[in-house]
Chain A
Amino acid sequence: MRESQYVSFQLDRHLLGIDIQLVREIIRNVDFTPVARAPLGVRGLLNLRGQIITVLDLGPALGLPLREIGPSSRCLILKSPEDVAPLVEAGLVDEAPAGEAVGLLVDAISDVIRPGEQGVDPPPANANGIDADHLRGVVRLEGRLLLVLSLKRLVEEGLGQRVPANVD
């Protein structure tokens, strides 16, 4: 796998990561408007410089409770599919998020991680309770495991555009 950088963040007890190329920006403003009758993971809408952003809580899709909003909560705004398309075509990334402007609600932002020498390992069948379907791989850090998310699938599940694979 090519050399990538991952934005890592805290969600519940997990250290998760997504390819930095998929992230447009990270904002502190998580003061979204809650929307009733939305899919479970859709917490509400946010105004980002005039653009409406769907605030997505990955908790339910990952089998975790909805996130509590705290002082370290952040919103990780994803790039649009159009912005990512050239990167996908150029083979730089191989996944694009869903067809609306999405911001991921996370408990805290950690760091930008370069896997470096050891690279990204394929995901184990079950990493700390997260299904392998939702992971692209893991990076073994000192004493911790960075779980690299399979973002497209997760986001689509979260937005209710795809039925979760692991529903019995």
Chain B
Amino acid sequence: MDLDDRQLLEELVVESQDHLNAMEPDLLALEKGVPAEEALELVNRIFRGIHSIKGGCGFLGIAPVQALAHAMESVLMKVRSRKLDVTPAMVDVLLDGTDRVRAMLGDLAHCAEVDASSVYQRLEPFLNAETAAVAAPEGITTEPRRSGYLPLRKAAPAAGGADLDVAACVAIDAVSPTGATRPDPEAAASVEVAASDGGAGAASAGLVRGGASDVLRVKVDLLNRLMNLAGELVLARNQLLQALDRKFSETAAGDQVLSATRSAVEDARVSLRVALGSADGSSTDDGARRQADRVERILDDMSARISLALPARLSELPGMNATMVNLDAVTTNLQENIMRTRLQSLEALFGKLPRQVRQLARQTGKEIDLVVTGGEVELDKSIVEALSDPLNHLLRNSLDHGLEETAAREAAGKPRCGRIEVRAFHEGGQVNVEIRDDGRGIDPVRIREKAVEKGMLTAEQAARLDDREVVLLIFAPGFSTAEKVSDISGRGVGMDVVRTNIESLGGSIDIDSQVGVGTRTRLKLPLTLAIIPSLLVRACGRRFAIPQVSLDELVRLREGRDDQRIEHVQDAEVLRLRGHLLPLVRLSTLLGLERAEGAARPAVYVAVLKVGSNRYGLVVDEVLDSEEIVVKQLPPSLKDSRCYAGATIMGDGSVAMILDVPAIADLGGLRFTDAVQAASADDRSDSYLDRTESQTLLLFRNAPDGEHFALNLAMISRIERVTAGDIQNAGGHEYLKFQDGSLRLVRLHDFLPVRAPTAEPREVYVIIPKLVKHPLGIIAWECDDVVSTRVEIDRDNLRGAGILGSGMIDGNLTVFLDIHGLFEAAEPELYRSDGHRAPALERTRVLLAEDTSFFRAVEKNYIEALGASVTAVCDGREAWRLLSEHPEDYDLVVTDIEMPLMDGLELTRHIRASERHAHLPVVAVTSLMSEASRAAGLAAGVNAYEVKLDRERLGTTIRQVMEEVCVHA
């Protein structure tokens, strides 16, 4: 076969597949029932598709496809000419037909071996039904149907044979009265158009092809090469910028030298004149005179030349700056657009769903209404491809486990027909794919039982988890809730595999379920795999990139921090972090860059990395920066290294390796279960899930490319979206009319060293906090997300008034705001007077026990603001250890209630039970205030019970408690 033919064939196959893809949803829609005009349009489209396939295959001599397509086309022809009506049986056989055609096209060399006999058999009755249909009144083709719908019965039980169906259908057709009460001219017109279109299949197919001619097929390989070149352009641009920078500074230095030289020359001239003038009287030495004249001329000349050179140099490269800015913008744009060429709409994937659901619905006997939206959303080709399996799995889950049997639905007062919604949409630079059903939901009670049954949790641990955490247990390996194994959702290879797959795409999965109401699963996916956000680190002088999707948090180890120490479990190093043991891998040792014995060097940074539900710490020397990197495939010869996921090119043109986070865990020989067990043997408490309290945070930004900020949701009263016009200026401040009065607004960049937006958007968000004495509104450019997370706050990295510290959230370095500090900076007058009233707690030494790093930072901040000194620890046991070892060192204990190892109540009971500390005042703080918990606290012996984030009340309470203690003493 010559080259041209091969190319033609390739094109034919691709084009035919496109037709098949388009036909499937049309057939399903037809079966489902659509208004008559639309039905005709559908039939015409399907007809054109199959006709084109027939034509193409006929032209290239692919007889089996041509024959089958011809048979299918003939049936459709009859539908078009109103000799046949669409029935489920017909749709069935046509769908089967498309499958066979697809199979044949998939392997052209063996297409004759594809068995299509059953399809032919079932097409037969339709083809032979002519006589029956002809009996129908002639007028039917032009007169509108009264119902407006093609007659159609709901999913017919398989018992009814094809022949029967046709007969029934034809019968219905024949008896269907045509006397419409009001003739519909429009419908008639459309029917006529369709009829005149009948013989012109080829022409219309040509038309379709013509319509799509602004789309061009491009080889992925070519796009990849373009990507490379664009990347290279970016590098060249960076190097050019650097070179120019150097040049400019050199030029500036040169100009200075020139200026200095010019003044020196001027000085010399003046001196020479003076010397000449003073020598005038005794003009005896002509030779000296002539020499002096020559020197003067030389100096004149030099001065003139310098004067000419200087302005020329200063005006060197006019417009260079603007050009560079332009080049910069164009390059970035180019890269983004080339990237976009790799994007593919989800349609290819979503288009298949109705068919699958239809099949599954038949198998399970459930009635299902599937709604698919957002097929136009685009993602990287490789992600779309890899999404197919997880999406199928989730859909099957919804159908099989989620939706109840019809009878159960009716009993529950729900509509008979279950609803599954698949939706894709953009959000925050990511693509979300949501699968939502209105089924029975996931029952946390059942999951708890199951987890205990399977030995994943103790009954006590299970009881401690809240319902949300319990639902997340279905992602644990080997967990499946199906009461019976079915061939639809299969055995429990389920959700952990789905989760792993999604995570390997750089995405995340979240599930939300309400018993009796339904389940919503949300996948968050990156737009592309070609560019990923990453954290750059250094080990043994080499740079590495860690994909940020795998990065949980970053811990900086400092000497003398008892709550962050490296310990040894057998031979392995572990980090004690918030009461948990985190297995450690030293990158330098793992890569053989450093001998294990030589690892005495103190660990500085630990990147906490996620592998499914497990975590481990990677020890690195230095943390460099967060950067978006272009992922290059790993050369095959490095595949065996088992520690790299790819390579990337850095801004300076050098190559850095991208670390493969799961592979490194493997290579490092980490056995997560062992580590956890070792820890629990030691700690007596450890559970499947980290027990540290999570906090709900609002994430927002002050500028589109600016820092990420976080505020605890508990501190926010509301968030308003306002237009710039709503903001009024008065006395140098900005105000928003709010409720009865006006609210002063602050912009973060006025008070914090953070990036300011370059332009003023038309709409901004105003975050209105609560639990503060003098509320101000914080202006935010964009509210990104509300997340529930456990995050370690680093108080050293970033500090200043208004900043609590920083932490890693979703791989972004995030600044935690200290609202009190911020507001104090904004309105010092208001707070200054407060300060005067505060009684000094200067000599009070407070022991603070709080497991959540965020609250620890906040509370420490609050209490220190009162003047007291604070020692903070992570749990009750640590607090009790300090109290036992240094009984005289503390005047007050402030403790959280919910903590690992030893909770606040137990700590209080220990304190009250001991002789030495029986009278030590204890203030309990909690994020949940209920009468029952307050009673429990008081029963344990706390002096006072307060809400965590209310600075005013916490301050007042502490003062009160301390005063009482003084009075009693």
A interface with B by C-beta (< 8 Å): 31-39, 42, 44-47, 49-52, 54, 98-101, 159-161
Kindly provide the distance from the CB of A165 to the nearest chain B CB, expressed in whole angstroms: 19
Residues from chain B with Cβ under 8 Å of A35 in the complex: 638, 641, 644, 657
Q: Give Cα distance in the complex from A34 to B656, angstroms.
A: 9
Question: Is the Cβ of A52 less than 8 Å from the Cβ of B647?
Answer: yes
Q: Give Cα distance in the complex from A39 to B642, angstroms.
A: 12
**Which residue of B is nearest A56, CB measured?**
B637
B430 within 8 Å of A (CB atoms) = no
B640 within 8 Å of A (CB atoms) = yes
**Which residue of A is nearest B234, CB measured?**
A50
Question: Is the Cβ of B647 less than 8 Å from the Cβ of A159?
Answer: no
Question: Is the Cβ of A33 less than 8 Å from the Cβ of B641?
Answer: no
Q: Given known contacts A33-B654, A36-B593, A47-B654, is B638 in contact with A42 (CB within 8 Å)? A: yes
Instruction: Choose among B230, B640, B643 the residue that contacts A39 (Cβ–Cβ < 8 A).
Output: B640
Q: Given known contacts A32-B655, A34-B542, A36-B592, is B635 in contact with A50 (CB within 8 Å)? A: no
Question: Is the Cβ of A50 less than 8 Å from the Cβ of B229?
Answer: yes
Instruction: Choose among A37, A49, A100 the residue that contacts B635 (Cβ–Cβ < 8 A).
Output: A100
Question: Is the Cβ of A160 less than 8 Å from the Cβ of B640?
Answer: yes
**Which residue of B is nearest A45, CB measured?**
B655
Q: Given known contacts A35-B638, A54-B635, is B653 in contact with A47 (CB within 8 Å)? A: yes
Q: Give Cα distance in the complex from A3 to B169, angstroms.
A: 78
Residues from chain B with Cβ under 8 Å of A39 in the complex: 637, 640
Residues from chain A with Cβ under 8 Å of B526 in the complex: none
Closest CB pairs A-B (n = 5):
A50-B228, A36-B591, A50-B232, A159-B637, A37-B641
B61 within 8 Å of A (CB atoms) = no
Residues from chain A with Cβ under 8 Å of B231 in the complex: 50
Q: List 5 A-B contacts (CB under 8 A).
A: A50-B232, A50-B649, A98-B637, A99-B636, A161-B636
B235 within 8 Å of A (CB atoms) = yes
Question: Is the Cβ of A37 less than 8 Å from the Cβ of B637?
Answer: no
Residues from chain A with Cβ under 8 Å of B641 in the complex: 35-38
B610 within 8 Å of A (CB atoms) = no
B909 within 8 Å of A (CB atoms) = no
Kindly provide the distance from the CB of B556 to the nearest chain A CB, expressed in whole angstroms: 25
B70 within 8 Å of A (CB atoms) = no
Residues from chain B with Cβ under 8 Å of A38 in the complex: 637-638, 641
Question: Is the Cβ of B592 less than 8 Å from the Cβ of A37?
Answer: yes
Give the residues from 600 to 656 in chain B that come closer than 8 angstroms, CB to CB, to chain A. Answer: 632-633, 635-638, 640-644, 647, 649, 653-656
Q: Is the interface of A mostly helix, strand, loop or mixed?
A: loop
| Max chain B Cβ within 10 angstroms of own Cβ: one of A51, A52, A160 | A52
Residues from chain B with Cβ under 8 Å of A54 in the complex: 635, 637-638
Question: Is the Cβ of B635 less than 8 Å from the Cβ of A51?
Answer: no
Question: Is the Cβ of A33 less than 8 Å from the Cβ of B640?
Answer: no
Question: Is the Cβ of B642 less than 8 Å from the Cβ of A100?
Answer: no
Q: Give Cα distance in the complex from A33 to B544, angstroms.
A: 11
Kindly provide the distance from the CB of B620 to the nearest chain A CB, expressed in whole angstroms: 14
Kindly provide the distance from the CB of B526 to the nearest chain A CB, expressed in whole angstroms: 21
Kindly provide the distance from the CB of A56 to the nearest chain B CB, expressed in whole angstroms: 8
Question: Is the Cβ of A100 less than 8 Å from the Cβ of B636?
Answer: yes
Question: Is the Cβ of B235 less than 8 Å from the Cβ of A50?
Answer: yes
Q: Give Cα distance in the complex from A44 to B654, angstroms.
A: 11
Residues from chain B with Cβ under 8 Å of A31 in the complex: 654
Residues from chain B with Cβ under 8 Å of A159 in the complex: 636-637
Q: Given known contacts A35-B657, A36-B591, A37-B592, is B637 in contact with A49 (CB within 8 Å)? A: no
Give the residues from 518 to 567 in chain B that come closer than 8 angstroms, CB to CB, to chain A. Answer: 542
Residues from chain A with Cβ under 8 Å of B655 in the complex: 32-33, 44-47, 52
Kindly provide the distance from the CB of A51 to the nearest chain B CB, expressed in whole angstroms: 6
Instruction: Choose among A32, A50, A100 the residue that contacts B637 (Cβ–Cβ < 8 A).
Output: A100
**Which residue of A is nearest B644, CB measured?**
A35
Q: Give Cα distance in the complex from A98 to B655, angstroms.
A: 21
Q: Give Cα distance in the complex from A159 to B641, angstroms.
A: 12
Q: Give Cα distance in the complex from A51 to B654, angstroms.
A: 11
Question: Is the Cβ of A37 less than 8 Å from the Cβ of B647?
Answer: no
Residues from chain B with Cβ under 8 Å of A49 in the complex: 228-229, 232
Question: Is the Cβ of A37 less than 8 Å from the Cβ of B636?
Answer: no
Q: Give Cα distance in the complex from A36 to B643, angstroms.
A: 9
Q: Give Cα distance in the complex from A35 to B659, angstroms.
A: 12
Q: Give Cα distance in the complex from A101 to B632, angstroms.
A: 12
Q: Give Cα distance in the complex from A83 to B656, angstroms.
A: 27
Q: Give Cα distance in the complex from A51 to B655, angstroms.
A: 10
Residues from chain B with Cβ under 8 Å of A45 in the complex: 635, 647, 655, 657
Give the residues from 795 to 823 in chain B that come closer than 8 angstroms, CB to CB, to chain A. Answer: none
Kindly provide the distance from the CB of B697 to the nearest chain A CB, expressed in whole angstroms: 38
Q: Give Cα distance in the complex from A24 to B749, angstroms.
A: 53
Kindly provide the distance from the CB of A107 to the nearest chain B CB, expressed in whole angstroms: 22
Residues from chain A with Cβ under 8 Å of B653 in the complex: 47
Question: Is the Cβ of B592 less than 8 Å from the Cβ of A47?
Answer: no
Residues from chain A with Cβ under 8 Å of B632 in the complex: 52
Known: A36-B591, A37-B592, A38-B638. 14 other contacts (CB 8 A): A33-B655, A33-B657, A35-B641, A36-B641, A36-B643, A38-B641, A45-B657, A47-B235, A47-B655, A51-B228, A54-B638, A100-B636, A101-B635, A160-B637
Kindly provide the distance from the CB of B233 to the nearest chain A CB, expressed in whole angstroms: 8
Q: Given known contacts A47-B654, A49-B228, A50-B231, is B542 in contact with A37 (CB within 8 Å)? A: no
Residues from chain B with Cβ under 8 Å of A52 in the complex: 632-633, 635, 647, 649, 655
Instruction: Choose among B235, B592, B593, B656 the residue that contacts A33 (Cβ–Cβ < 8 A).
Output: B656
Question: Is the Cβ of A37 less than 8 Å from the Cβ of B643?
Answer: yes
Q: Give Cα distance in the complex from A164 to B143, angstroms.
A: 82
Question: Is the Cβ of A161 less than 8 Å from the Cβ of B637?
Answer: yes
Q: Give Cα distance in the complex from A57 to B641, angstroms.
A: 17
Q: Give Cα distance in the complex from A162 to B294, angstroms.
A: 81
**Which residue of B is nearest A29, CB measured?**
B653
Residues from chain A with Cβ under 8 Å of B232 in the complex: 49-50
Residues from chain A with Cβ under 8 Å of B228 in the complex: 49-51
Residues from chain B with Cβ under 8 Å of A51 in the complex: 228
Kindly provide the distance from the CB of A154 to the nearest chain B CB, expressed in whole angstroms: 13
Q: Give Cα distance in the complex from A144 to B445, angstroms.
A: 85
Kindly provide the distance from the CB of A6 to the nearest chain B CB, expressed in whole angstroms: 25
Q: Give Cα distance in the complex from A100 to B644, angstroms.
A: 16
Residues from chain A with Cβ under 8 Å of B637 in the complex: 38-39, 42, 54, 98, 100, 159-161
Question: Is the Cβ of A33 less than 8 Å from the Cβ of B542?
Answer: yes
Residues from chain A with Cβ under 8 Å of B643 in the complex: 36-37
